[in-house]
Structure 1
Amino acid sequence: MSIYTHLTAFGGYKVTLWEPGMPLGDPATTIHRIAVEYDESTPWADKLQAFLELPGAERTPGLVIGQWDEEIGTGTEPDDMIAALVAAAPRLPALRVLFVNDITSEECEVSWITNGDLGPLLAAYPALEVLGVRGGNALRLGHANLPALHTLILQAGGLSAEVVRDVVTSDFPALTHLELFLGTEDYGATSTPEDLTPLLLGGRFPHLKYLGLKNSDRQDEVAQVVANAPVLDGLEVLDLSLGTLSDEGAAALLGSPGVRGLKRLIVAHHWCSEETVRQLEALGPEVDASDAQEADEDDWRFVSLGE
């Protein structure tokens, strides 16, 4: 899985590119992506400033941050982008939806995107309701306190143990949708299933309905620890897709009363046998077991989103 296209919708809004000289879209339906192109002379922060100066910018409900530097794939750090967004916070009082790094693989592979400490950014926008971030390199959230956040999505070829612990120990009391692309060690994943413990014990996010622990090269272990975790009691959807799930991990799901009580189980992109898939489909929840893979003679398995 590579990311070939920019977002066209996010957080319930249509996403359109904004360039200096263009009018603002209807804030009831539209949010804008602000980005620079390769070899472009206008800095990203200057484009944001031009956006802020438009009449009605203060009613902007969301932003999508695209490529913020023409050399983003060379290890350039996003300090200037983060600082510009933090400084803009008083002029964006209605901002509730934010996606950081809507960057395609043609612009920069996800494993090359250098993030940074987004803690100051989250502190500047405490009313955020929907947050998406792409890229795991150097990413940190700190101990965030976002009382209205209901959706959090982190897309990466690999998430560090530190950022996973940032997520599961932060204060997101309204969270209903949590989606973590845990990734592979080859691209920076250092977390273990044990790092998920505060989440799996339940109660941390009492309104959680969708839990995505996906794209992991340790998907069997993730399935085994989540299969009988208290967090399942309140879930409607468990998403273990895009990773290396096999019959070993699926066996734990088959023996789990909590999994039987789900509305939907997603294991797409997997290495399960046809018989195991049939057993999963007979459990009770709606099951998505599409994109079955075949192991080679060395049993080599791969995550969907890596490089």
Structure 2
Amino acid sequence: MTISAHLTDFAGFKVVSWEPGQPLGDPATTIHRIAVEYDDAAPWLAKFRAFLELPRVAETQGLVIGMWDTEAGMDGDPGEVVEALVTAHAHLPKLRAVFMNDITYEENEVSWIPNGDLSPIFAAYPALEHLGIRGGNGLSVGHLALPELRSLEIQAGGLSAELVREVMSAELPKLERLELYLGTDNYGATSTPEDLAPLLDGRLFPRLKYLGLKNSDHEDQIAQIVANAPVLEGLEVLDLSMGILTDEGAAALLSSPLVAKLKKLDVSFNWCSDEMVKKLEALPTEVDASDRQDADEDDWRYVSLGE
């Protein structure tokens, strides 16, 4: 899998790219993506400052940050973008949704996207309800305490153990959707299934309805520790897609009475046998076991989103 297209919607809003000289879209239905392209004369900061001068910009409810530096590579740093967002907080009093790094593979592979400490943004916008982040290199969310946050999604070819532990110690009492692309050690993943332990008893995020622990080369082990964990009692959807899930992990899901009570189990892009897929699809819940990958015993298996 590659990320080949920019977001068209986020947090219930339509996402529209914005360029200087264009008007502000309807703040009730539209949020804007601010980005630079390789042939742009104006840097990202100049575009953002122009955006802040728009009439009714104070009504803006969300922002999508696209490519922010045409020269940004493995050694890039989004520090100036973070600082600009923090400084602009008085201009954006209604900001509720932020997506960082809406960058496609043609602009920068997901494993190459430079990141950094984004925690100053969260301090500046404590009323955030939806947060999306792409890219795991150097990513930190610090002590994440957002009392209104409903959804958190982090897309990466690999997330560090430190980042996963930060999420597992976050204070997000209203979180309903958590989606982590845990990734592979080939692209920076250093966490283990044990790092997810604070999540399992269901008390960390008591309102959680959707849990995505996906795109992992430890998907079997994750399935085994989650299958009978109390956290499933409050869930509607368990998403273990995009990773290296084989019959070993699927068997744990198949035998779990808690999994059978979910509204949906997503294990699409899996490495299970045909026989196991049929058994999963026979569970008394909606099951997506599509996109089965085929590999012999000694073949190399891989996650869906790596480089």
Letter in 2 for 1:171: E
Letter in 1 for 2:232: L
> Secondary structure of the equivalent of 2:133?
strand
Letter in 1 for 2:55: P
Query: How many equivalent pairs are there?
Result: 307
CA distance in 2, matches of 1:301, 1:171: 35
> Secondary structure of the equivalent of 1:214?
strand
2:143 maps to 1:143: yes
Letter in 1 for 2:48: L
CA distance in 1, matches of 2:38, 2:191: 34
> Secondary structure of the equivalent of 1:72?
coil
2:270 maps to 1:270: yes
Q: Contact 1:75 / 1:112 at 8 angstroms: preserved in 2?
A: no
Letter in 1 for 2:291: D
How far does residue 127 in structure 1 lie from its aligned partner after superposition?
Answer: 0.5
Percent identity for Structure 1 against Structure 2? 66
CA distance in 2, matches of 1:299, 1:259: 29
CA distance in 1, matches of 2:14, 2:283: 37
* Correspondence for 1:55: 55
Residues 238-283 of structure 1 deviation map (CA, whole Å, 9 limit, x = unaligned): 0000001000000111111111110100000001111111111122
How far does residue 204 in structure 1 lie from its aligned partner after superposition?
Answer: 0.7
Map 1:56-95 onto structure 2 (within 5 A). Answer: 56-95=56-95
Q: Which structure 1 residue ranges, 5 or more long, are not aligned?
A: none
* Correspondence for 2:254: 254
Q: Which structure 2 residue ranges, 5 or more long, are not aligned?
A: none
CA distance in 1, matches of 2:94, 2:68: 22
How far does residue 71 in structure 1 lie from its aligned partner after superposition?
Answer: 1.5
Q: CA RMSD in A?
A: 0.9
Q: Contact 1:215 / 1:240 at 8 angstroms: preserved in 2?
A: yes
Letter in 2 for 1:27: P
CA distance in 2, matches of 1:198, 1:72: 35
CA distance in 2, matches of 1:11, 1:72: 27
- Structure 1 stretch displaced more, 85-94 or 71-80: 71-80
Runs of 4+ in 1 over 4 A off after TM superposition: none
CA distance in 1, matches of 2:297, 2:106: 32
Q: Contact 1:73 / 1:109 at 8 angstroms: preserved in 2?
A: no
How far does residue 50 in structure 1 lie from its aligned partner after superposition?
Answer: 0.5
* Correspondence for 1:159: 159
CA distance in 2, matches of 1:8, 1:20: 20
* Correspondence for 2:29: 29
CA distance in 1, matches of 2:50, 2:100: 19
Letter in 1 for 2:65: I
> Secondary structure of the equivalent of 1:82?
helix
Letter in 1 for 2:59: R
* Correspondence for 1:236: 236
How far does residue 296 in structure 1 lie from its aligned partner after superposition?
Answer: 3.8
CA distance in 2, matches of 1:297, 1:71: 43
* Correspondence for 1:174: 174
* Correspondence for 2:303: 303
Q: Contact 1:158 / 1:185 at 8 angstroms: preserved in 2?
A: yes
Letter in 2 for 1:211: L
Letter in 2 for 1:43: P
Letter in 2 for 1:117: D
How far does residue 198 in structure 1 lie from its aligned partner after superposition?
Answer: 0.7
Q: Contact 1:61 / 1:95 at 8 angstroms: preserved in 2?
A: yes
CA distance in 2, matches of 1:145, 1:110: 26
* Correspondence for 1:105: 105
CA distance in 1, matches of 2:46, 2:145: 29
> Secondary structure of the equivalent of 1:4?
coil
Residues 173-211 of structure 1 deviation map (CA, whole Å, 9 limit, x = unaligned): 000000000000000000001100111121110000000
The structure-2 alpha-carbon separation of the partners of 1:202 and 1:297, relative to structure 1 and needing over 3 Å to count, comes to closer
CA distance in 2, matches of 1:9, 1:43: 24
* Correspondence for 1:218: 218
CA distance in 1, matches of 2:160, 2:291: 27
